[in-house]
Amino acid sequence: MSIIPEGVLKGRVKAFQKRLRDSGIDAAMIRVLSTFIYFTGVKWLRPSLMIPAEGNPVLFAVKGEEKGLRSLSWLDSIVTYREGGELMGKVSGLIRERKYSTVGLEFSLERDSFILFYEMFKRLNPSVKVVDISPITQSMREIKDEYELEAIRRAGRIAAKAMRDVEDIIKPGMTEVEIAAEIYRELYRAGSEEPLVYVNAGPHPRIHAEPLHNVKVIKDSFVTIVVSADYGRYYANMARTYFIGEPNELAKKSMECMNKVYEKAIDLTRPGIKFSEVMIELDKIYREYGMTDFRVLGYTHGVGLQVEETPITTIVPKDRFLTPEPGMVLAMVHAPILIEGLGQIKLEDTFVVNEDGILERVTET
């Protein structure tokens, strides 16, 4: 069975179905992996789930996988197929059989939300109105329940331990891949199933730096490590920057700036205060230190079934006008300072917005 309690999953589906009915949507076809996990509790790399506004959800699985899927999921209605074309045909046949006129799909940034599926769906169902259900699924997922919060806290402890353990091993001459390998070893041993590790060894800064085998740690530059650990399908992420050698004045100034930005972000991020308002105050610090031209715009994003999920202030400008709410989980400061010749400077932790509006850091080091 799923590691997420069945009652939690049933409650999510029931709440989602009400949202569908209120929006005049007959059914939703879930192809985005994280949303599939949200409703089924199962990580399945070909996610296909139909949730009608009324009645029981239907899973779609490759012929031969149905028993394994049924053993993991609380859902028992499964339709099998042998290849992608047959899957689309069976989905379309079910829509016609049930006379659905409006069907929801997620227009998402995530894997598995390919435009190819959308175009195929439209061709096979020309009389069906297709609507974006991302606002519904995202708003539900933004506010975490107690199961989710406990899983994220556990993930935070795993991430923090891995970061502590790697601090003493970073040496000049090590490659980014060698550093990442040490961290991955710790994360997998601690129970993470799909952790992500980014390493940027200066002097040339990269955002979201997937580790490279031919980039080595050198003296007089920064090494930035981002650790995203998952537990029970839920993530926590954090970042730390280390200077190798004796920092010059520019390096000292950039680190002091990032520390002040981090402290101010924690102090100001509260329910009722828009993210954009916090960004205005953070920019005052960047200007004070002469770092405005080196900083990336935006400072926080949501964390949950994805390492980055809504609100994402660094990617989606409209999200900057949202406000934190109790039950949200936020990573900050997500935006680094990038200085050619030194590297990337980043300080990031994951925080739960508690009922009293106070931030609880779950990635303590």
Kindly report, residue by residue over 280-301, the tens digit of the pLDDT: 999 999 999 999 999 998 999 9
When mean pLDDT is compared across 35-39, 67-71, 122-126, 254-258, the lowest value belongs to 122-126
Dihedral angle computed from the Cα positions of residues 305, 310, 311 and 313, in that order, rounded to the nearest 10 degrees: 100
**Predicted local confidence at residue 164, as pLDDT:** 93
Which pTM was predicted?
Answer: 0.90
| pLDDT at residue 112 tops 60 | no
| pLDDT at residue 110 tops 70 | no
The dotted CATH code for 143-361 is 3.90.230.10
Check whether the bond before 52 is cis (ω within 30° of 0): no
Angle at 271 between CA 110 and CA 259, to 5 degrees: 75
User: What is the pLDDT averaged over residues 326-338?
Assistant: 96
Q: Which one is the CATH code of 6-140: 3.40.50.300, 3.10.150.10, 2.60.40.10, 3.40.350.10?
A: 3.40.350.10
| pLDDT at residue 109 tops 90 | no
| pLDDT at residue 113 tops 60 | no
Strand order across the 234-244 sheet: 196-201, 221-231, 234-244
**Predicted local confidence at residue 365, as pLDDT:** 74
| pLDDT at residue 123 tops 90 | no
Backbone angles phi, psi at 117, to 5 degrees: -60, -40
- Could you count the other beta carbons within 10 Å of the beta carbon of residue 115? 8
How confident is the model over 345-358, as pLDDT tens digits?
Answer: 999 999 999 999 89
**Predicted local confidence at residue 364, as pLDDT:** 84
User: What is the pLDDT averaged over residues 2-17?
Assistant: 91
User: Amino acid identity of 161?
Assistant: K
Domain parsing of the chain, residue ranges: 6-140, 143-361
